[in-house]
Copies of this chain bind each other. A is one copy, B any other.
Amino acid sequence: MTTPITIFDTTLRDGTQGEGISLSADDKLKIAQKLDALGVHYIEGGNPGSNSKDIEFFQRIKSMNIQAKITAFGSTRRKFSLAEQDSSLVRIAESGVPAATLVGKSWDFHVHTALQTTLEENLAMVFDSIAYLKHKGMEALFDAEHFFDGYKNNPDYAVAVLRKAQEAGADWLVLCDTNGGTLPGEIHDIVSRIRRELTAPIGIHTHNDCELAVANSLAAIQAGARQVQGTINGYGERCGNANLCSIIPNLQIKMGYDVLPEDKLRTLTGTARYISEIANVNMPVGQAYVGNAAFAHKGGIHVSAIMKDSKTYEHIQPELVGNKQRILVSELAGQSNIISKAQSLGLDINSNNDQTKAIMDHIKELEHQGYQFEAADASLELLLRRAFGETVEVFKVESFKVLMENAKGQMNSEAIVKLNVDGQQVYTAAEGNGPVNALDNALRKALVQFYPKIEEIHLSDYKVRVFDEKDATAAKVRVLVESSNVENTWSTVGVSSNVIEASWEALVDSIRYALLNMEKSNTAPTDNIERLGVVNH
């Protein structure tokens, strides 16, 4: 029997405190679904009263089929007030989620300096707030902020705070290294002592200010903690939170704890990369376990040893976490994903035949150029259908042109496109709020008389990523476009050193994908076609 460890993900709450990370309600819902698929046990969604994005998140998450416990975050009640009259606590109780995490002070210095109240009142704030949530039937986790600094300064008071939370019925006592300044030996020592003094289960929440958050989390587990709080890719304020992408495999593969089912652990790399795309933050190439270079081999001697036995320079099999070995610059990631994708489209693909090898080589080459198909399923489908000889180009692009002018603060953008639709040349122009919008307008204007239902499609997301930052504005960019109609949502990708060209490529793929399943109109009136600039050949 192995010991189970509970994973509490706070990417959507503490993770969003990271510099440059800003998630919409849609982003948060997508990430929650991905975290749930990974199998984490708790997903902290945010503070249900703090801002409109979080309010929308808690509203919409209710109707989703999420297995993990969604938790709401808040602080203990204000000083010298009643918990049941604290609007923040009331909103948590009314948020409709089963569990809440309340942060409270456990460092006497902070009680005096930040709260500016008495030690006794802080104890009452902790007790009342937890008791209120328990009275409302919720599971209550108590995050003891600055616990280790507090314990080092005044151990009796720090323990008294935990004891109050426990008396009030807290289901977990989570010890936080909020400033990230504690060392693993201290964490191990203090958690061991707390385990002897209190009966509620212990959690650990660390920050990476000394580059020790992972080690500190492991030290706490070895000392008897049974819950780890952290974020995907270690997102979080200052130097970030403890990185679950390293902690989970360390606990499970290296230390033998029971954390996630094996098949879920294999989705770890994909989860990390998906969330980095949604958060629009580049992953460090050398990120442990899930980074693109985590199992990449450059040195010639290393490579020849690796070919004899990969154990010579790999500490685990990369497949255990869904990653893979790379020998040269680029090696296709997720070949099995592509095979299963092709099979789901009814295309005859398997890992042995020559056609599969040719397709894989082509995708590898595109990935080398910067394409990424993990978040661009429609572009991948078009690519696979083309490779199997299907016709997906229901229209051809002959040329496009963009003009932008700014004078006296006034900005104008125009696009001119020339298409060929089944032998008919369509030549039209449109304005827009910007060059991409102008191109999108021109493209739709050229196609609407052939495909009237194109009006039902809207572009629901548009993301731009620079993936080779060294060259700054001359670097290549990857554009992801998400489109929707009433029934479906699909995503496409474009890559270029020119953001407009990359956007155009993703736009064209998006419309082509939509037209694959759309009926062509036979009734477009001639005068309409002429008005829109169609030339019959």
* A residues whose Cβ falls under 8 Å from a Cβ of B: 17-20, 22, 24, 26, 50-51, 109-110, 113-114, 178-181, 183-185, 208-212, 214-215, 218-219, 222, 234, 236-240, 243, 246, 249-250, 254-255, 280, 282, 284-289, 291-299, 301-302, 304-305, 308-309, 311-316, 328, 331-332, 372, 374-375, 398-408, 411, 413, 432-437, 439-440, 458-467, 469-470, 472-475, 477, 480-481, 496-501, 503-504, 507
Q: How many copies does the complex hold?
A: 2
Instruction: Supply 7 further A-B pairs (C-beta < 8 A) apart from A435-B499, A437-B498.
Output: A22-B465, A22-B467, A211-B289, A239-B287, A413-B498, A434-B474, A462-B469
Q: Flag if A211 contacts B246 (CB, 8 Å).
A: yes
**A17 to chain B: closest CB distance in Å?**
5
Q: Flag if A313 contacts B178 (CB, 8 Å).
A: yes
Q: Flag if A436 contacts B473 (CB, 8 Å).
A: yes
Q: Flag if B473 contacts A434 (CB, 8 Å).
A: yes
Q: Flag if A240 contacts B286 (CB, 8 Å).
A: yes
Contact pick for A474, options B19, B236, B254, B432, CB 8 Å: B432
**A255 to chain B: closest CB distance in Å?**
7
Q: Flag if A288 contacts B209 (CB, 8 Å).
A: yes
Question: In the complex, A238→B249 CA distance in Å?
Answer: 17
Contact pick for A404, options B20, B286, B435, CB 8 Å: B435
Question: In the complex, A475→B498 CA distance in Å?
Answer: 19
Provided the pairs A211-B288, A254-B210, A473-B459 are in contact, do residues A434 and B183 lie with their beta carbons within 8 angstroms? no
**A455 to chain B: closest CB distance in Å?**
14
Q: Flag if B407 contacts A20 (CB, 8 Å).
A: no
Q: Which residue of B lies closest to A306 (CB)?
A: B114
A-B contact pairs, 17 of them (CB 8 A): A19-B298, A26-B469, A113-B308, A113-B309, A113-B312, A114-B312, A184-B219, A210-B246, A210-B254, A239-B291, A400-B406, A404-B498, A413-B500, A434-B473, A435-B499, A435-B500, A460-B470
Provided the pairs A246-B210, A282-B469, A500-B434 are in contact, do residues A183 and B218 lie with their beta carbons within 8 angstroms? yes
Q: Is the interface of A mostly helix, strand, loop or mixed?
A: mixed
The residue in A24, A239, A398, A467 that gathers the most chain B C-beta atoms within 10 A of its C-beta is A239
Q: Flag if B18 contacts A463 (CB, 8 Å).
A: no
Provided the pairs A179-B315, A214-B215 are in contact, do residues A404 and B407 lie with their beta carbons within 8 angstroms? no
Q: Which residue of B lies closest to A304 (CB)?
A: B114
Q: Flag if A474 contacts B437 (CB, 8 Å).
A: yes
Q: Which residue of B lies closest to A413 (CB)?
A: B498
Q: Flag if B480 contacts A20 (CB, 8 Å).
A: yes
**A452 to chain B: closest CB distance in Å?**
20
Contact pick for A302, options B218, B237, B243, CB 8 Å: B237
Provided the pairs A298-B237, A496-B434 are in contact, do residues A440 and B183 lie with their beta carbons within 8 angstroms? no
Q: Which residue of B lies closest to A110 (CB)?
A: B312
Q: Which residues of B contact A305 (CB under 8 A)?
A: 110, 113-114
Q: Flag if B499 contacts A434 (CB, 8 Å).
A: yes
Q: Which residue of B lies closest to A185 (CB)?
A: B222
